[in-house]
A and B are shown apart, each in its own frame.
Chain A
Amino acid sequence: MIRFLLKGLVRDKSRSRLPIIVVAIGVMLSVFLHAYVTGLMVDMIEMTAKFSSGHVKVMTKAYADNADQVPNDLAILDAGALMDRLRKEFPDINWTARIRFGGLVDVPDDSGVTRTQGPAMGMGIDLLSENTRETDRLNLKKSIVRGNLPASAGEILLSEAFSQKLEVNPGEKVTLIGSTMNGGMAIYNFIVSGTVSFGTSALDRGTIIADLADVQQALEMQDAAGEITGFFSQGFYDDEVAQINLDKFNALFTIDEDDYRPVMLRLRDQESLGFYVDMTKNMGTIITLVFMIAMSLVLWNAGLLGGLRRYGEIGVRLAIGEEKGHVYRTMIYESVMIGIAGTLAGTAIGLLLAWLLQKYGLDIGTFTKGSSAAVMLPDVIRARITPADYYIGFIPGVISTVIGTALSGIGIYKRKTAQLFKELEA
């Protein structure tokens, strides 16, 4: 019987073509969108983690409460000792101290008078120590547009867009004007060693990157750090790993209720990243459900149209003695075959499109220009093909065809057999 049905499906293009095309399109979109959204979300989360949140971050309680203001007067003191303890207690996490700061970058002319100046957001990171991973983590080498990475104390990187705005070139001197940890005025000279472009408008607008020790000196933050950022050795954020480490940290460090006690925040606890983490986790389910419902509706209608076209066939089958339930079941078998065929085609096309987007990316820099979102959106978005993309299409592909057929096939049960001759002869 299955062979009989299969022959009918293969030969009757109008019975199989439309449903297969509908399923293939739906599955293709499901697979492609899943890969696309996964790529976008993971890139966004990891980029934000690398430049800002870390996978976990340790700050003082007071700093954490006002983190959006970057209150360096509430920074961690004795950061070196805390770092040593964190490295000892959490050996699977790579810890690094950072200072975020704001200020004015002033570019003097030959006579020392201000030529140009502009507001900047700065990051003090470990650029110069022997075993630093910050250079690789922030992809600084590949981000260099002009000049070089800082090779000695007193050198900084400027974002390319910012350097053009200030009309300053590598090798020239700039002055950072800001405030020290103690509330005094900080004036510190740097040499621009190079310019960088991260492909993210939020970073490229007005960023300066300096060595942590230089920033500590400039802001009078010796052995202090605004935040100690931790990155999981597995290379990506994992909610469960973060929770385990948070629990361990809380057990180790909740000694007193001092405002300056260290607290740990997971990536999901910072800004609105929890929403994105949850969204990434649930995206597969959401996309699958949306397409399953949409395709079921389309296939329901396609099934009704097909059912009308096959009225005669179904009528004669019932007259010959096939039970209604058997006719209904065979229609379901057919829908499974159609679902599998459409899913295979849709998955192949979806994966191909996702692969193209993964390899070549899509530049959305024009749309994100001027964005000040806390979450960093890369200018070039790329899909990310995961193992789920190979099977995720089967859920909407097969289930929607079965639901669509089941709904449209209900008419068989409502049909009076007595009308068969009349309908068949009509």
Chain B
Amino acid sequence: MDHSIIQIEKLTKSFPMGKSKFTALYGIDLSFGEGEFAGFIGPSGSGKTTLLNIIGSLDVPTTGNVLVLGNSVGELTAKQAARLRKESLGFIFQSYNLLAVHTVFENVEFPLLLLKYSTSERRNMVMDALAWVGLTDKVKSKPPQLSGGECQRVAIARAMVKRPSLVLADEPTANLDAANSHNILQTMVKLNRDLKTTFLFATHDEKVIGYLRRKVYLLDGKIDKDEVLSN
């Protein structure tokens, strides 16, 4: 583990439920270094998506402190949180969430439009990203014309195109068959190795768990086990 890019101290997250409240995370202490390939593992309701949301600056801690790339998530304004996501974080969703009317190229290009790259820079970066996931021949295709595996590869390219420091993937293989799941995971492992991008998963899929080099098991909002595999 090199530099720590995520530091979580005494994180608690509660949600109001009528007059009472539901606590999803209890006193979590964790840190992740640059280039990790790690995942939160646990059954539904264990708190793994909530934890991923807070790390992704989509939600804020109730108590405790979460530092992501030097930014204290609980203290960020909406604009600052958006900037953090825009510049440094990539997201991969279970159901791809591609823009159906736009081509593969345009879907991957979208994060770069927000970062105001020039046309030629965008073109080069998009083609690089599509080359990483093996989809340079599908540039003009639209999502409805692609298979589930291809769609998820486009989503990975979209998450990776701006070369973020951290990619958060929530159940990325849930809608894929075994062959496509392995293909996707191998692609991510390769990107993690080549680009030193940190990958954090929320999953309970055994296929994903098999690829993780660090497994943080969550149970009822607490860390049950933190397992780091030796190289």
Residues of chain A touching chain B, judged by Cβ–Cβ distance below 8 Å, are 1, 4, 7-8, 11-12, 312-313, 315-324, 326, 417-418, 420-422, 424-425
Known: A4-B113, A7-B106. Contact between A421 and B78, CB under 8 A? no
What CA separation (Å) do A418 and B73 show in the bound complex?
Answer: 13
The A interface is mostly helix, strand or loop, or mixed, namely helix
Assuming the contacts A418-B53, A421-B53, A425-B95, asked whether A319 and B101 have C-beta atoms less than 8 A apart, the reply is no
B113–A1 touching, CB < 8 Å: yes
A11 contacts across to B, CB distance below 8 A: 101-102
Least CB separation from A418: chain B residue: B59
Excluding A417-B78, A421-B53, 5 further A-B contacts by CB distance (< 8 Å) are A1-B113, A8-B101, A320-B85, A323-B79, A417-B81
23 CB-based A-B contacts, threshold 8 Å: A1-B113, A4-B102, A4-B110, A7-B101, A7-B106, A8-B99, A8-B101, A8-B102, A12-B100, A12-B101, A313-B97, A315-B97, A320-B114, A321-B82, A321-B87, A323-B78, A417-B78, A420-B58, A421-B49, A421-B93, A424-B93, A425-B93, A425-B171
Task: Establish whether residues B52 and A421, one from each chain, have CB atoms under 8 Å apart when the complex forms.
Answer: yes
The answer on a CB contact under 8 Å between A4 and B106 is yes
4 smallest beta-carbon distances between A and B, as pairs: A321-B86, A418-B59, A321-B85, A11-B101
Nearest residue, chain B, Cβ from A11: B101
B84 neighbours in A (Cβ, 8 Å): 321
Bound complex: CA of A421 vs CA of B49, how far in Å?
8
Determine which of A312, A316, A322 lies in contact with B82 in the assembled complex, contact meaning CB atoms within 8 Å.
A322
B135 contacts partner chain A, Cβ-Cβ < 8 Å:
no
Are B91 and A320 in contact, with the CB atoms below 8 A?
Answer: yes
Most buried by A among B49, B93, B106: B93
Name the A residues within 8 Å of B100 (CB-CB): 12
Chain A residue numbers with a CB within 8 Å of B91 are 316, 319-320
Question: Residue of A at shortest CB range from B13?
Answer: A418
Least distance between A225 CB and chain B CB atoms (Å): 75
Q: What residues of B have a CB within 8 angstroms of the CB of A316 in the complex?
A: 91, 93, 97, 99
Query: Within the assembled complex, what's the spacing in Å between the Cα atoms of A421 and B50?
Result: 9
Task: Tell me the complex Cα distance, A418–B86, Å.
Answer: 16
A203 to chain B, nearest CB (A): 62
A79 to B158, CA, bound (A): 91
- State in angstroms the CA–CA spacing of A1 and B113 once bound together: 6
Give B residues with C-beta under 8 Å from A. 49, 52-53, 56, 58-60, 78-79, 81-87, 89, 91, 93-95, 97, 99-102, 106, 109-111, 113-114, 158, 170-171
CB distance from A379 to the nearest CB of B (A): 53
CA distance A312 to B101 in the complex (A): 13
Given A320-B85, A321-B85, A323-B79: A424 and B95 interface contact (C-beta under 8 Å)? yes
Q: Is the interface of B mostly helix, strand, loop or mixed?
A: helix
A12 to B101, CA, bound (A): 6
Query: B58 contacts A425, CB within 8 Å?
Result: no
A329 to chain B, nearest CB (A): 13
Q: Which residues of B contact A323 (CB under 8 A)?
A: 78-79, 82-83
Also in contact, A424 and B97, with CB within 8 A (given A7-B102, A320-B114): yes
* Contact residues in A for B78 (Cβ distance below 8 Å): 323-324, 417
Closest Cβ–Cβ distance, residue B181 to chain A (whole Å) = 17
Known pairs A4-B110, A321-B82; A313 contacts B99 (CB<8 A): yes
Inter-chain CA distance A322–B112, complex, in Å, is 11
Selected contact of B110 from candidates A312, A320, A326, A418, CB within 8 Å = A320
Which of A315, A316, A421 has the most C-beta atoms of chain B within 10 angstroms of its own C-beta? Answer: A421
Give chain A residues whose Cβ lies under 8 Å from the Cβ of B81. Answer: 417
Q: Given A7-B106, A8-B99 in contact, is the A321-B93 Cβ separation under 8 Å?
A: no
Across-interface contacts of A424 in B (CB, < 8 A):
93, 95, 97
Question: Which of A11, A12, A321, A323 has the most B CB atoms < 10 Å from its CB?
Answer: A321
Q: Whose C-beta in chain A lies nearest to the C-beta of B49?
A: A421
Most chain B CB inside 10 Å of its own CB: which residue of A11, A317, A417: A417
* Contact between chains at A312 and B59 (CB < 8 Å): no
Q: Which residues of A contact B106 (CB under 8 A)?
A: 4, 7
Contacts of B171 in A (CB 8 A): 425
Q: Closest residue to B78 on the A side, CB-wise?
A: A324
Asked if A425 meets B170 with Cβ closer than 8 Å, knowing A11-B101, A312-B97, the reply is yes
CA distance A7 to B107 in the complex (A): 12
Cα A425 to Cα B93 with chains together (Å): 7
A31, chain B: closest CB distance, angstroms:
31
In angstroms, Cα B21 to Cα A312, docked, is: 28
**How far apart sit A47 and B91, CA to CA, in the bound complex (Å)?**
72
Given the complex of chains A and B, what is the CA–CA distance between A322 and B110 in angstroms?
A: 10
Contact check, B113 vs A318: say whether CB atoms are below 8 A apart. no
Which residues from A are CB-within-8-Å of B101? 7-8, 11-12
